[in-house]
Amino acid sequence: MKKKIIFAMLCVVAAAMMLSMMIFTPQKKVQYIQNDEDIMGTISLSDTQKTEKDTYEFTVDGSKAEQFRTRYIVIQLDEIVRDIAQIQIYVDEGQGYQLQGKKNISILEGEQYGYAVLDMDSYRGLRIQADYQYAIATIEFHTNAPQMEVTSVTPFKPLLILGMGALVVVFFLAFFLQGRFDVLGRMKESFITVWNRRKNIFTQLMKLAIRIGLAGFVAYLISIGIHYARYGAWSCHTLMYIWTFAGILVILIFMMNRKQIEAYINRVVFLLIITIGGALIVATPASHKAWDIDSHYRWALIDSYLGRANLTQADLAVIHAYDESLVGDNPQEYQVKEEILNKDYQYVIANDYGIITLPHMLAGMMMAVVRFFGGSFTAIFHAGEWGNLILYAILCYLAMKRLKSGKMILAVVALFPTNLMIAANYSYDYWILGFSMVGFAYFLGNCQEKGTTITTKDTVIMVGALALACIPKEIYIMFLLVPFLMPKSKIENKKKYYSICLAGFGVLLFMLLVRSLATTGGTGDVRGGAVMPADQIQYIFHNMKEYAQTLTLFLKDYLDLLSVKDYTVNFAYYGVATRLVHVIPVLIIYTAITDKQPCDSYETSVLTRIYAIVMYVATAALIATALYITYTPVAELEILGCQPRYLIPLIYPLAAMTGSSKIASRMDKGVYYYGVTIVSTLILYGSIYDVVIRSMVS
């Protein structure tokens, strides 16, 4: 009982710390106090020139220049804001409108005024990007800095109550876990083991530290050499250094595990993901570099505040995909953008409410920790990315560990450059991929074990992982039928097994139906144009033949082998790495054929293979149909918005389940593992350098 209480209390303390970081924020809230007495000059929109929709330019006239010689600008809207109005101001200092010096103004609910403090008081012109919902009444030029009321952000009371409730749940859960699994005892045992081997561990850690230190030094020398070779000057470019350092660490990983690569392959792949993915995070700026960062960052931010986010201007810039949050063209631009974002991350200016989403929880927690300790916007942004990457690496490690054979098929898919890009960013695709790999690995791993039956724990993990994978995109629901293909000889208690499988499938089916009904009744994705889900469904039902033709034509290209570049070496807004792209399909087919062992003969029946192919094609068809309904204008003869990356989670089950166990390989396993992981790593490392790093190193 004593142990149980101690463990439960420890857990409560840890949870309380975490919740505190998520509920409390060190940031301040600011409110502008209106002051009409120091107005130097005023203009209205009639004094400006409209250059494009919602964009106005005001040129400072020579005779009246004096009344506009100020840094303090206040914008007045012609009505009180209902939610939030966003205005962006670009300044022309004589060299045209530049990103440098750009200011964002947010006018909050119930207010009519917003202010900006420019970097300089002398300029040739202003470009004002107005909010499309609210018209600007006047632009005031003030003598003095605006008066602001700065207050601390008070925690949201319902969240405090919720947090308390959560702590109670944690207490009882920990109490139960300690009683059931003796976690404390196990921790103690582990600690004793570590303590007994402390000298050895210390020596190993020292060796590792020295190696990493040496690697850092060598990387420094190499990057200096590269810089000299390219520019003729002895200097070290930070990004080049980071990438070279990552490269040497990768070599170190391979060298340190060379003797027992067969045994350590899971660890090697884990370390490769962390090293290269980590370098990618550190090297790339906090920007809109992958797909839909705006939405995913917002969800992560909401998670980091447990549902009620405190927004700064920098957060709004990312959520609304402003210029400063987009991928830049050169290193200077990156620097300017980072400065703008970090400056704008000063005051909380608004709140955003949302539902907590599971795939973004770890990113949110990491953000909360760094924010609590006063990290800059960039640091917080990257912390969230680290959260996703670590979870992805852990999931890949667990999946590989569960397999007896076919580890290389999984490693090749896990190391697709696009997958690393997604995992090192804000997204839920990494979640789908990671959990689906765990689920399939548990399915295949159990099939590969001769003479054993699947345990309840494994069943729960398999179904749970597949269900978790499907939660963000229920369209992958066919994953949840895979457990039903488990050979009967593997199931001890059929009733229990199928109940667990059915429970997972039922929950997901229900969720899919709810979402489908909600989508059908909705307006669809406005980015698609004249979208109308209900009408589109009617069109499909009335024109089945035409739609079948449209879908077939689409799938021919979508599933084409040569389309792999769009979901394997695609770095979203950085571009596509095409140089080595064609090695990937060869490698995936090669491993699908050769990464087999005798244990695979117990694995898959013809039915499983057929199902893997049907699942691949049918899910692709489902995804395409979903986007035809929600993203494509009614009766269009093509399908819009269906991105090739949606196929990624389907590649591993297809490759792992369709190969034949009748292909026996007598190749040296170590050499084989080395060969495949090295080729995969080279493609990954080279592609990132080719597309991402080179674009940022002038």
Task: Please give the residue ranges that form the binding site for another protein (CB under 8 A).
Answer: 556, 560-562, 579, 581-582, 585-586, 589-590, 593-594, 660, 662-667
Closest to another protein by CB, 188 vs 579, is 579
Q: Are 326 and 573 in contact (CB under 8 A)?
A: yes
Q: How far is the CB of 566 from another protein (least distance, A)?
A: 12
In terms of DSSP bridges, do strands 84-92 and 125-129 run parallel, antiparallel, or are they unpaired? antiparallel
Closest to another protein by CB, 96 vs 598, is 598
Distance, CA of 419 to CA of 569 (rounded, Å)? 9
b/e map 373-411, b = 16+ CB within 10 Å? eebbbbbbbbbbbbbbbbbbbbbbbbbbebbbbbbbbbb
Q: How far is the CB of 240 from another protein (least distance, A)?
A: 22
Closest to another protein by CB, 494 vs 662, is 662
Q: How far is the CB of 671 from another protein (least distance, A)?
A: 10
Give CA 9 to chain center in angstroms.
Answer: 33
Distance, CA of 82 to CA of 109 (rounded, Å)? 5
Q: How far is the CB of 500 from another protein (least distance, A)?
A: 35
Q: How far is the CB of 257 from another protein (least distance, A)?
A: 23
Q: How far is the CB of 190 from another protein (least distance, A)?
A: 41
Q: How far is the CB of 405 from another protein (least distance, A)?
A: 15
Distance, CA of 684 to CA of 687 (rounded, Å)? 5
Transcribe 416-435 into DSSP letters: -HHHHHHHTSS-SHHHHHHH
Closest to another protein by CB, 495 vs 662, is 662
Task: Give the long-range contacts of residues 524-529, CB within 8 A, separation 24 or more.
Answer: 524/629, 524/630, 524/631, 525/630, 525/631, 525/641, 527/631, 527/641, 528/630, 528/631, 528/632, 528/633, 528/640, 528/641, 529/633, 529/640
Closest to another protein by CB, 220 vs 590, is 590
Closest to another protein by CB, 570 vs 630, is 570
Distance, CA of 199 to CA of 600 (rounded, Å)? 42
Q: How far is the CB of 383 from another protein (least distance, A)?
A: 39
Closest to another protein by CB, 469 vs 651, is 651
Q: Give ∠ CA 86-87-93 in degrees, rounded to 5.
A: 155
* Sequence-distant (≥ 6) Cβ neighbours of residue 215 within 8 angstroms: 245, 248, 249, 252
Q: How far is the CB of 664 from another protein (least distance, A)?
A: 4
Closest to another protein by CB, 78 vs 560, is 560
Closest to another protein by CB, 157 vs 662, is 662
Distance, CA of 202 to CA of 210 (rounded, Å)? 12
Distance, CA of 465 to CA of 446 (rounded, Å)? 15
Closest to another protein by CB, 432 vs 581, is 581
Q: How far is the CB of 571 from another protein (least distance, A)?
A: 18
Q: How far is the CB of 563 from another protein (least distance, A)?
A: 9
Q: At what angle do helices 669-688 and 238-256 cross, to 10 degrees?
A: 180
Closest to another protein by CB, 145 vs 682, is 682
Say how many residues make up the chain: 698
Query: Pick from 149, 153, 469: which is nearest to 305 by CA?
Result: 153
Q: Are 573 and 288 in contact (CB under 8 A)?
A: yes
Distance, CA of 437 to CA of 442 (rounded, Å)? 8
Q: Give ∠ CA 71-72-73 in degrees, rounded to 5.
A: 115
